[in-house]
Structure 1
């Protein structure tokens, strides 16, 4: 046995007696950036990068967020890397996002991308310590904390002295976020079941209104990249020529396919003579009443078996994707013709 010294690393995380600094967390940031470089993500669709953000990049941070109180600046830096990776495939800010990151970090059923806000996730992880102190008096760490800090006082009304450690004051600050979720030292929001980080996160996050169309866009019948474009269409955030022209990014504003009318979302998907042929053929096959500019309202009225509804929604998602894909191809081809 060799006598060691603090700080040291265990299972990839730093172990020290003081709070973590940005320098201590730099290896985590470097690891996230290295993962991005090894993924070759610029060739992936938005949906492919979204899956990688959830399954790879976010887990690197959340693994550490469940064990430590991380510096807010470090969490914000990693979230900005995830944002840049999602919208452009790299770690640096180059392309403006289609939606703000705060909106992207909201659930599917509220109309967004189902990502987690890691600052709030870190607080929810600390909330597990709050729950231990409230409900597990025989836990060894709880007994030590009671003997050293609380000393017989009521935990939910306890306020730490300014002379106590930074970690302990942060735990007490997080406790104040969860006070309303306790009843006689028991977690009560989920039928008196035990606290979990997911429940704590859902309790403190900013909740929005639920939408009735998320299952139409995100479902097992649709290819993920088709669903993603359908989701962008639903929020009317597509970078049409009209939008690029209004932002002074492009001098052109006409449709890249018919090259006659202003390229708005309504024109591109319903009024462009070339794309309208596709829409009419699809509408005849699916039995859509034309015209159907209010596409989402029509989709909400679909009846029949789940398989029938799934196939119709998958077909509509695919149609939206391929129209948008053809528009992008036409735009590139037109630019190459002008260069030659």
Structure 2
């Protein structure tokens, strides 16, 4: 107890014995009783929750993190998802559920079985509004987790967030000067302190490279790269730098982007994702571009046996391109729009409709982006009725 008193005198953190507990592992009961008598602490068993994080011995198991999963599922169940649009449900997942997970993701590597269950209930909630009801997902989960400029909905994948958070924690463990990082490096690393002594080199003499001649014979390209590299003459302490940033610092967002990787950016995302356009109309156009609307053509691909016919002209098979672009009924609406803007729209494909437009200056802004959304939304609503 004298050690606790000295710690409290220097740090100002006094210990309240009645509110303190201690935990042991493989310790005889006689020693536990002696510690409790000496310190007046309460003995408790692992696992337990501290500051919202479950603490346990060994690797994380599903039973340790199940309470957090149950809270997330309870949160999704209390929301009236059916009263929200699919874009509204996606926003709730991004800003609420992701915030509930990111704290523990920085500490534990979650088991795959729990991450799979979290992904399942999030996917069910986004598509059906009920985390317990499974609905046909017309767009792949990997596509939905892409950023909007790559053709996705910017939903964060729990697997990637967990890996990115642990990578960010590893970076802080190796580079941070906080007390916890220094203590962990001193305990866990064998070479906690950097070497300060000079190491003689036969290829770097008096601030110049002195490479042997056989270096050029073996690999001339690598040798030229070495010669172009300048080493500092003055002793500068080494530090880990993240190459993709200008200042060398790594943030959690950059870590997630590194783990997720990058895809080819789509040219239509700025015209489809517009802050002046309601998200419900944007979602219809987004599914139209990916050819994932529940038309007869796509339902047949999923095994549904139905008689396909266009609900407008009653002559052709119902496909996304036909009912939106090539049907005689909808073509009249496009002709009316062409006359209104005094320009011929490219109706060869959905992407060309949004990308290949040479709008006049008086139509630039929110209005020109909303024209195609209004048309696609109107056709889709008429078809659903």
TM range (shorter): 0.7 to 0.9
- Structure 2-normalised TM-score? 0.71
SS in 2 for 1:23: helix
Q: Aligned match of 2:141 in 90, 101, 109? A: 101
Higher relative contact order (CA 8 A, sep 6+): 1
Kept in 2, the 8 Å contact 1:105–1:114? The answer is yes
How far apart in 2 are the matches of 1:49 and 1:306? 35
Larger deviation: 266-275 or 315-324? 266-275
Kept in 1, the 8 Å contact 2:106–2:169? The answer is no
How far apart in 2 are the matches of 1:306 and 1:13? 56
Task: Find the counterpart in structure 2 of residue 151 from structure 1.
Answer: 190
Query: Are 2:319 and 1:264 aligned?
Result: yes
C-alpha spacing 1:43/1:293, structure 2 compared with 1 (3 Å): farther
Q: Which runs of 5+ in 2 are unaligned?
A: 1-17, 22-43, 195-237
SS in 2 for 1:25: helix
Task: Find the counterpart in structure 2 of residue 198 from structure 1.
Answer: 253
Larger deviation: 215-224 or 192-201? 192-201
Task: Find the counterpart in structure 2 of residue 325 from structure 1.
Answer: 381
Give how far 1:290 is off.
5.2
Across the two proteins, how many residue pairs are aligned to each other? 301
Larger deviation: 279-288 or 197-206? 279-288
Kept in 2, the 8 Å contact 1:121–1:197? The answer is no
How far apart in 2 are the matches of 1:222 and 1:237? 20
SS in 2 for 1:14: strand
Give how far 1:184 is off.
4.4
How far apart in 2 are the matches of 1:49 and 1:132? 34
Task: Find the counterpart in structure 2 of residue 283 from structure 1.
Answer: 338
C-alpha spacing 1:9/1:292, structure 2 compared with 1 (3 Å): same
Kept in 2, the 8 Å contact 1:88–1:95? The answer is yes
Give how far 1:291 is off.
6.2
Q: 1:104-150 CA distances to partner (integer Å, 9 max, x unpaired)?
A: 111111111112222121122112232223322x4222222222221
Q: Aligned match of 1:2 in 19, 36, 45? A: 19
C-alpha spacing 1:47/1:63, structure 2 compared with 1 (3 Å): same
SS in 2 for 1:215: helix
Query: Are 2:63 and 1:23 aligned?
Result: yes
The Cα RMSD (Å) is 2.5
SS in 2 for 1:116: coil
Q: Aligned match of 2:83 in 43, 66, 72? A: 43
Kept in 1, the 8 Å contact 2:282–2:373? The answer is yes
Query: Are 2:289 and 1:234 aligned?
Result: yes
Query: Are 2:188 and 1:142 aligned?
Result: no
How far apart in 2 are the matches of 1:16 and 1:292? 60
Structure label with greater radius of gyration: 2
C-alpha spacing 1:289/1:188, structure 2 compared with 1 (3 Å): same
Q: Which runs of 5+ in 1 are unaligned?
A: 156-182, 330-340
Task: Find the counterpart in structure 2 of residue 180 from structure 1.
Answer: none
Larger deviation: 252-261 or 96-105? 252-261
How far apart in 2 are the matches of 1:187 and 1:290? 46
Kept in 2, the 8 Å contact 1:244–1:253? The answer is no
Task: Find the counterpart in structure 2 of residue 12 from structure 1.
Answer: 52
How far apart in 2 are the matches of 1:286 and 1:304? 9
Q: Aligned match of 1:54 in 86, 89, 94? A: 94
SS in 2 for 1:187: coil
Give how far 1:307 is off.
7.1
How far apart in 1 are the matches of 2:362 and 2:52? 46
Q: 1:36-89 CA distances to partner (integer Å, 9 max, x unpaired)?
A: 222211232221222122122332222321333222221221011111111122
